[in-house]
Chain A
Amino acid sequence: MAENGQHRPDDERPDGDELDEVLSRANPNPDRIGCPPRETLIALAQRAQPIGDPAYEHLLKCSPCYREFRALQRSDS
C-alpha cells in the first residue's frame, strides 16, 4: 500500500472532525511557548519527519501550531 500519499481531512466537514476541534482550540498558547520553526511544521505536514519526532507532541500542546500544521496539510493536498 502507498504510505506516502497526501494527507486529507478525515471527515467530510471542511474544517475537520471533533478531534480537529479539540486540538485546534484546547491549547491557546498565546505566547507561543516552545513552538518549533515554520520549517518544522512544514516537514510535519509533509510527513517528512519520523513518527517519533517530538515536534508531534508539541502539536498536542499548542493549538496555533496545530492549526498551522493542518492548514499546511490542506495546502499540500
Chain B
Amino acid sequence: MNDMRTLGLLDGDGNLIPAHIEGVLTRLLPRLRRHFPILQDEVAFIEVAEEAGRRIHARETRDGPVEKLYGYAWVTMRSVATSRVRRGSIRLIQSTLDPEASRERIASVPARSGSPGEIERDILLRELLETLTPEERLLCIWKKAGFSSLEIANFLGRTVVAVDTLFSRAKQKVRTAMGLGSPKSTRSSPTPAASASSAPSPDDAETERRNGGEWAAPTRRRKAGWR
C-alpha cells in the first residue's frame, strides 16, 4: 500500500486518476486504516481510495482544482468509507465473531437440542414431514394411534382401499425422502377383497397385530436387509 502508483487507481472511465490526487490519497491511507479498522483488508482500503479519487477527480473536472485538497480528500475518503461500513456485507462482518472467538463462544453455550448435526437432521425431518399433505399426515398419526383402515375410512367417508393406498404412498414418500429403498419388492399390496373386509395387510400392522395374526412382513424385511 505504500506505493499506490503501481496499483493505478482508475476513474469511472478507466483512466488513471491524476497523480496529485492519488498522492494525497496515498498519504491519507494510514489515517483511513486507523479510523476504519472494520474495513479489515487492503482491497477494501484501495477501493475506498479509488472511489474517493473518482469523486475528487470529477469535482476538479467540473469545477476546477480543489483549493484545500488534503482536507477535501479526507472528508471524501471518510464519506466513502462510512457508506461502505453501512453496507450489509460489512455489517455482517461486524456482527460475526472471528473463528477462534466463535469456537469459544459455542463451546460455552449449553446445548438444548443436541449437536449441530442433530439439529440439522431435525430440520430436514421437518421439511420431510411438510412434503406430506395434511390428510396424509393425519392418516399417519391415526395409524400410529392404532386406528384401523376401516375406522379411518368410515371417518373420512372413503374406502378402505383408498385409505390403505394413501397410507402406503405417505410411507413411501417418507422412505424415498429419507433415501431408503422401495419396499415394493418385499411387500405385497393389499388386495381389494382383503382390504374391503379390513383384513390384516402388510401396510396395516397395527390392525394385524390387534387381530392377533401372524405378521410375516418383519421377517421378510429382515431377510431383505431392511433396517
Contact = CB atoms under 8 A, between A and B. Distances in A.
Contact of A1 (B113, B143, B198): B198
Contact of B129 (A5, A26, A47, A73): A26
A12 interface: yes
Given A3-B151, A22-B174, A13 B128 contact: no
A16 B227 CA distance: 10
Contacts, number: 102
B180 interface: yes
B144 A52 contact: no
A3 B175 CA distance: 28
Interface residues of B, number: 41
A20 interface: yes
A6 B138 CA distance: 20
A12 B122 contact: no
Contacts of A6: 210
- Chain B interface, DSSP helix/strand/loop, else mixed: helix
Contacts of B150: 3
A4 B121 CA distance: 35
B227 A13 contact: yes
Contacts of A45: 145
Give the interface centre of A2, A11, A25, A73 by most chain B CB atoms within 10 Å: A25
Interface in B105-163: 112-113, 121-122, 125-126, 128-129, 137-138, 140-148, 150-152, 155
Interface in B168-183: 171, 174-175, 178, 180
Contacts of B121: 25
A27 interface: yes
Contacts of B35: none
A23 B141 contact: yes
A70 B142 CA distance: 12
Contact of A12 (B137, B207, B222): B222
Nearest to B180: A18
Interface of B: 112-113, 121-122, 125-126, 128-129, 137-138, 140-148, 150-152, 155, 171, 174-175, 178, 180, 198-199, 205-207, 209-212, 218, 221-222, 227
10 contacts: A2-B211, A3-B210, A12-B218, A26-B125, A26-B128, A28-B113, A28-B122, A44-B145, A47-B145, A51-B155
Given A10-B144, A18-B171, A26-B122, 7 more contacts: A1-B199, A1-B211, A12-B222, A25-B125, A45-B145, A51-B145, A60-B141
